[in-house]
Amino acid sequence: EAGVAQSPRYKIIEKRQSVAFWCNPISGHATLYWYQQILGQGPKLLIQFQNNGVVDDSQLPKDRFSAERLKGVDSTLKIQPAKLEDSAVYLCASSLVKAAPLHFGNGTRLTVT
């Protein structure tokens, strides 16, 4: 089966600019996650969708981050405006159902200068 697709692979922006990341989960996977992985740390959940509804966004900095999953398939994560501390790898993952194992994409590496 095709894996989780993410784009772009790399993005460099200046602080205060905006950026968007795209994710296409594995076909048929109802649950989609966005994780932030800062260099040298484990992934941290930003938001979890079940179909197109939000299950958990408790760790999403809502003043600057937003995410949507229209039609319960693809998802976009946006940062506006970006801060230096947002430099990280943004990982998208999907699972067949909420309790199923997660499958990760290769991530988008964001550098904020």
SS3 70: helix
* Nearer to other proteins among residue 43 and residue 110 (C-beta): 43
- Structure tokens of 3? 């894996």
**Shortest approach of other proteins to residue 106 CB, angstroms?**
5
Query: Side chain identity at 73, as an amino acid letter?
Result: V
> Footprint of other proteins on residues 22-41 (CB under 8 A)?
40-41
Contact code string over 48-67 relative to other proteins, x by CB under 8 A: x------xx-----------
In this structure, is the dihedral angle defined by the CA atoms of residues 9, 92, 74 and 27, taken in order, positive or negative? Answer: positive
